Amino acid sequence: MSVRPSVKVPRHTRTPQSNRKRIDMKAAVFSKFGDPAEVLEVREVPTPEPGPGEVRVRMIASPINPSDTMFVEGRYGVRPTPPAVPGFEGVGVVDKAGPGLMGRFVVGKRVVAINNKGGNWAEYAVIPWKQARPVAADIPDDQAATFFVNPMTAVALTRHVLAVPKGEWLLISAAGSTLGKMIVRLGRRDGFKTLCVVRRSEAKQELIDLGADAVVSSSEGPVPEQVRRITGGDGPRYALDPIGGEAGTAVFRSLGKGGRLVVYGSLTDEPIAVDPRSLITSRTSVEGFWLGYWMAERSIPKALMLFREVATLIREGVLSADVGKSYPLERVGEAAREAAAVGRGGKVLLKIGAGG
Ligand SMILES: NC(=O)c1ccc[n+]([C@@H]2O[C@H](COP(=O)([O-])OP(=O)(O)OC[C@H]3O[C@@H](n4cnc5c(N)ncnc54)[C@H](OP(=O)(O)O)[C@@H]3O)[C@@H](O)[C@H]2O)c1
pLDDT for the residue numbered 5:
35
Contact 94, 61 (CB under 8 A): no
Lowest pLDDT segment from 12-16, 43-47, 155-159, 261-265: 12-16
Distance CA 248, CA 261 (A): 9
Does residue 179's CB lie within 6 angstroms of at least one atom of ligand 1?
yes
Peptide bond into 83 cis (omega under 30): yes
Judgement on whether residues 283 and 243 belong to the same structural domain of the protein: yes
Q: Whose CA is nearest to atom 39 of ligand 1?
A: 343
Q: With cut-offs at 50, 70 and 90, classify the pLDDT of residue 15.
A: very low
Average pLDDT, stretch 194-217? 97
Is the minimum distance from the CB of 240 to ligand 1 under 6 angstroms?
A: no
Q: Is the CB of 187 under 6 A from ligand 1?
A: no
pLDDT in tens, 119-175: 999 999 999 999 999 999 999 999 999 999 999 999 999 999 999 999 999 999 999
Checking if the pLDDT of 241 tops 90, the result is yes
Give residue 354's pLDDT: 57
Which pLDDT does position 6 carry in this prediction?
A: 38
Any domain includes 245: yes
Whether residue 22 lies inside any domain: the answer is yes
> Are 159 and 112 members of one domain?
no
Say yes or no: 193 and 164 in one domain. Answer: yes
Q: Are 215 and 285 members of one domain? A: yes
Would 308 be classed as within a structural domain?
no
Residue 316 belongs to a domain: no
* Number of domains comprising the chain: 2
Per-residue pLDDT, averaged over 93-110, amounts to 95
- Per-residue pLDDT tens for 298-311? 999 999 999 999 99
Is 112's pLDDT higher than 90? yes
Tell me the CATH number at 258.
Answer: 3.40.50.720
- Range of weakest confidence among 174-178, 225-229, 232-236: 232-236
The answer to whether residue 302 sits within a structural domain is no
- State the Cα–Cα distance between residues 331 and 325, nearest whole angstrom: 12
Whether residues 166 and 272 share a domain: the answer is yes
CATH number of the domain enclosing 69: 3.90.180.10
Domain check: are 34 and 121 in the same one? yes
* 3-state SS, residue 152: helix
Cα 332 from Cα 241, distance rounded (Å): 28
Distance 179 CA to ligand 1 centre (A): 7
Residues 56-82, mean pLDDT to the nearest whole number: 97
Least confident of 1-10, 68-77, 171-180: 1-10
Domain contains 214: yes
Print the domain residue range for 93.
9-146+321-355
**pTM of the prediction?**
0.94
97-128 in b/e burial notation, b at 16+ Cβ within 10 A?
Answer: bbeeeebeebeeebbbbbbbbbbbbbbbbbbb
| 92 domain residue, yes or no | yes
Looking at the structure, do residues 32 and 77 belong to the same domain, yes or no? Answer: yes
CA distance linking residue 48 with residue 52, whole number of Å: 13
